[in-house]
Amino acid sequence: MPHNPDKITERLFQAPLKYIQGPSAFRNAGKYLSALGNAPLLICDSVVYNIAGNDLVNNLRMASLNVTYAEFIGEISTQEIDRLTEYARSNHVDFVIGVGGGKTLDCAKVIAETIQTPVASLPTIAATDAPCSAVSVVYTPDGHFDHYKFMKKNPDIVLVDTSIIAKAPARFLASGMGDAIATHIEAKSCKQSVVPWGGLPTEVSGAISEKCEEILLKYGKVAYEANKVHAVTPAFEAVVEANTLLSGLGFESGGVAAAHSIHNGLTAIDALHGLLHGEKVAFGVVVHLILTNAPSSELEKYIEFMLTVDLPVTFELLGIPNVTDEELRAVAKLACSPRETIWSMDIGDSITEDKVFHAIKGADAASREYIRRANWVRAGL
Ligand SMILES: [Zn+2]
């Protein structure tokens, strides 16, 4: 049974107003961002400020924008949002620019929504879906999940500088690929369910998530290697777009399913807290495929892809080789919490905690066997 309790019949698609990507995007930022106002609040953390923020502020001032800079400190908590919102109000800014990773961009979106101004997302890594989406994840000051904040609209401008993204460690790009490869797999599993903003998926969101996967499978490995030497190649550009734009639009208007519920379930294990979002989603993808009974050839296609970009597909690669059944049952329980996206799958009614527990174990076993066989072939035995 699809997840559509209100019997909604409208299809819904939403997106940012403008997406711009290229190796000189930040240098040309004034040209694009001046369309949103004259006096922006620019927020980024101190690390990002030294890498990109300082130059960006200078570029914007040269384009006659009256920029107010505010440092984003620590966690995207209600307290930090309130502090920066107050700062924005007292400086009479007319739009907000977030520069950095997902948390900074999410924070900028909430501030802009509160003071009712436009917002621009300027990601410095290609690791999350935050830049394009109309949702922010809010945490407690000590870093635990607090709530989702759904915005009335998507960011007005998403500006991606690939020469900045290429300077970040390749692990972030790989993690973004782990998140992005889930997009099509999850969308296919909840075609009949309402998406987070309350409509049914469109044909275009399906096409976008399909294209996202095609790019990752074709160019993911090459882009990952290019990133390691900070090279902006056509493959790198394509994968940054897949991770940021295609995955962002695909998940938001196509639906999210078991892979992300497994990600959330994995937060039950303290030893995994150091992993990036997409690294946990990557393992969740394998569990999702086992749960939906994907044929071996399809399963192995994705396991192979994950391994080529160093994404974890076994307990050992996740760093928990001795995980117990008791811990895995806790993961399954959390993944099956009442508000989880696992229930939006078209097979949602047949899913149980016990089935998810078995799928988690099955995923590890399938990936281990694939690795064993691949090494066996490589060794020529
Ligand atoms: Zn995600």
Q: What is the mean pLDDT of residues 253-265?
A: 92
Q: What is the pLDDT of residue 157?
A: 98
Residues of the chain with CATH 1.20.1090.10: 170-374
pLDDT over 70 at 212, yes or no:
yes
Which three-class secondary structure state does DSSP give residue 178?
helix
Separation of CA 128 and ligand 1 centre (Å): 6
Q: What is the mean pLDDT of residues 118-138?
A: 95
H helical segments located in 149-202: 162-165, 170-189
Q: In this predicted model, which residue has the larger pLDDT, 381 or 144?
A: 144
Separation between Cα atoms, residue 127 and residue 131, nearest integer Å: 10
The C-alpha angle 374, 378, 381, rounded to 5 degrees, equals 100
**Unique residue bearing structure tokens 């870093």:** 143
Domain 18-167: state its class: alpha beta
158-to-18, 54, 154 alpha-carbon distances in Å? 6, 19, 10
Residues of the chain with CATH 3.40.50.1970: 18-167
* Per-residue model confidence as pLDDT tens digits over 327-359: 999 999 999 999 888 998 988 889 999 999 999
The closest alpha carbon to 361, from 349, 373, 350, 369, belongs to 369
Q: What is the pLDDT of residue 302?
A: 98
Separation of CA 270 and ligand 1 centre (Å): 19
The closest alpha carbon to 159, from 30, 39, 40, belongs to 30
Q: What is the pLDDT of residue 380?
A: 64
* Per-residue model confidence as pLDDT tens digits over 285-302: 999 999 999 999 999 999
- Mean residue pLDDT across the chain: 94
**Could you tell me which residues are beta bridge partners of residue 98?**
43, 121
**Unique residue bearing structure tokens 């307990």:** 315
Which three-class secondary structure state does DSSP give residue 71?
strand
333-to-272, 285, 320, 340 alpha-carbon distances in Å? 17, 17, 18, 11
The closest alpha carbon to 99, from 35, 153, 168, 2, belongs to 168
Q: What is the pLDDT of residue 195?
A: 80
Separation of CA 133 and ligand 1 centre (Å): 11
On whether the CB atoms of residues 169 and 215 are closer than 8 A, the answer is no
DSSP 194: P
Q: In this predicted model, which residue has the larger pLDDT, 28 or 146?
A: 28
Burial class (CB in 10 A: 0-12, 13-18, 19+), 153: middle
Tokens of 141: 């000051």
Separation of CA 129 and ligand 1 centre (Å): 6
State the catalytic residues: 179, 260, 263, 277
Q: What is the pLDDT of residue 128?
A: 87
pLDDT over 60 at 1, yes or no:
no
* Per-residue model confidence as pLDDT tens digits over 214-226: 999 999 999 999 9
Separation between Cα atoms, residue 197 and residue 14, nearest integer Å: 9
* Per-residue model confidence as pLDDT tens digits over 73-102: 989 999 999 999 999 999 999 999 999 999
pLDDT over 90 at 124, yes or no:
yes
Separation of CA 65 and ligand 1 centre (Å): 34
Q: In this predicted model, which residue has the larger pLDDT, 144 or 305?
A: 305
63's CB contacts (< 8 A; 6+ apart) are 29, 30, 31, 33, 34
Tokens of 327: 């811990």
Fold of 170-374: Dehydroquinate synthase-like, alpha domain (1.20.1090)
Q: What share of the chain is helix, strand, coil (3-state, %, to 5)?
A: 55, 10, 35
pLDDT over 70 at 69, yes or no:
yes
Separation of CA 34 and ligand 1 centre (Å): 31
Q: In this predicted model, which residue has the larger pLDDT, 230 or 8?
A: 230
170-189 and 258-266 are packed helices; what angle lies between their axes, rounded to 10 degrees? 130
Separation of CA 183 and ligand 1 centre (Å): 8
Separation of CA 51 and ligand 1 centre (Å): 25
Name the maximum alpha-carbon separation found in the chain: 70
Separation between Cα atoms, residue 230 and residue 170, nearest integer Å: 8
pLDDT over 80 at 379, yes or no:
no
pLDDT over 90 at 188, yes or no:
yes
pLDDT over 70 at 381, yes or no:
no
Separation of CA 258 and ligand 1 centre (Å): 11
